[in-house]
Amino acid sequence: MWRALLLALAAAPLLWANSAHAACGLDALAMSAGAHDSQWTEHDAEGRRLLREHGQLPEATLTVGGACGSWSADLSWRHSAGRRDYQGLSNHGASVQTHSRLRINEWSLSVQRPLFDGLKLGMRMQHQQTRRELATTGAVLGYPEQHGHWIYALGLLSEGAAWGESRWRLGAWLGGGPSGRVRIALPIADETTLRTGAMRQSELQLQWLSAPWAEAWRASLGLRWREERVGAGAASTLWRQGVAVGGALQPRHDLRSAGVEAGVQRSF
């Protein structure tokens, strides 16, 4: 599915260019801040849970919107950082409780075109970068890892009048992406890169926009729910100064998040 979406996104600039005779330019700037509840779990090949992390992560988002004829586009950057509590097992099967520190950057580019009144078809490309640092606890040494994924999604977007001059927006996205990379620095081995399996992603968005104030400004309140599943990768040999010291693979992981954010939007 993600391959077809990638081809569609590649063709979108050509379709946009066909609208060059129409008025084109920036039409919106939006800023918001909030937090999301984040739950990360890892599972072995039999589906048994290896660990669970849970915490609330503050976040901020900046979005620039443009339009060209019947097409519209949004370019956004979202940054979140914080801590999740960790419950899992050591390599020897002992229970481990610690925490991880997260820094997440997500860039999104989406293009939309009306299907009929009040409903748009959207295509979205995302790049996620997540730095996760597991804290040392007792005899169990922590380590950092850097995740990178490309995600391609198809969405349906709807908008309508709420009350007065306020508006509501609803979005539903479904997609996925190819195998990602995890740069990992284990205490017992040289830094190495592991591959993950393919990703699946689903997301729901709900936003309310207030009546305009101070000319073209609106206040916004948004809710977001997202679920991602990333398959296990292939095993790789671990090395230390040219000597093989073991093997490792990135297990399957699931990420579920639900967030709320408030902000402002300026229309041009």
Which candidate, 5, 73, 26, 53, places its Cα nearest to that of 253? 53
Which candidate, 150, 143, 152, places its Cα nearest to that of 191? 143
Centre a 10 Å sphere on the Cβ of residue 182 and count the other Cβ atoms it contains. Answer: 21
Mean per-residue pLDDT, 237-255: 95
Residue 2 to residues 56, 148, 199, 250, Cα–Cα distance (Å): 30, 16, 9, 21
Instruction: Check residue 214 and give its pLDDT.
Output: 81
User: Is 50 among the domain residues?
Assistant: yes
User: Is 32 among the domain residues?
Assistant: no
The 10s digit of each residue's pLDDT in 196-232 is 999 999 999 999 999 998 878 999 999 999 999 999 9
Which candidate, 28, 64, 61, 67, places its Cα nearest to that of 218? 28
Range of the domain at 45: 2-15+38-267
| Beta-bridge partner residues of 230 | 199, 253
The 10s digit of each residue's pLDDT in 21-68 is 567 889 999 999 999 999 999 999 999 999 999 999 999 999 999 999
User: Is 27 among the domain residues?
Assistant: no
Burial tier of 242 (Cβ tally within 10 Å: 0-12, 13-18, 19+) = exposed
User: Is 22 among the domain residues?
Assistant: no
User: Is 28 among the domain residues?
Assistant: no
Centre a 10 Å sphere on the Cβ of residue 256 and count the other Cβ atoms it contains. Answer: 16
Place of tokens 């639900």: 258
User: Is 223 among the domain residues?
Assistant: yes
Number of domains in the chain: 1
Number of C-alpha atoms within 13 angstroms, CB side, residue 68? 15
CA–CA dist 175, 155 (Å, integer): 9
Written in H, E and C, the secondary structure of the chain is CHHHHHHHHHHHHHHHHCCCCCCEEEEEEEEEEEEEEEEEEEECCCCCEEEEEEEEEEEEEEEEEEEECCEEEEEEEEEEEEEEEEEEECCCCCEEEEEEEEEEEEEEEEEEEEEECCEEEEEEEEEEEEEEEECCECCECCEEEEEEEEEEEEEEEEEEECCCCCEEEEEEEEEEECCCEEEECCCCCCCEEEECCCEEEEEEEEEEECCCECCCEEEEEEEEEEEEEECCCCCEEEEECCEEEEEECCCEEEEEEEEEEEEEEEEC
The 10s digit of each residue's pLDDT in 66-124 is 999 889 999 999 999 999 999 998 777 788 999 999 999 999 999 999 998 889 999 99
Report residue 54 as tokens.
């849970």
| Beta-bridge partner residues of 255 | 40, 228
CB 104 within 8 A of CB 81: yes
CATH number of the domain where residue 205 is located: 2.40.128.100
User: Is 20 among the domain residues?
Assistant: no
User: Is 78 among the domain residues?
Assistant: yes
Q: What is the pTM of this model?
A: 0.89
In this predicted structure, the answer to whether residue 16 has a pLDDT above a threshold of 90 is no
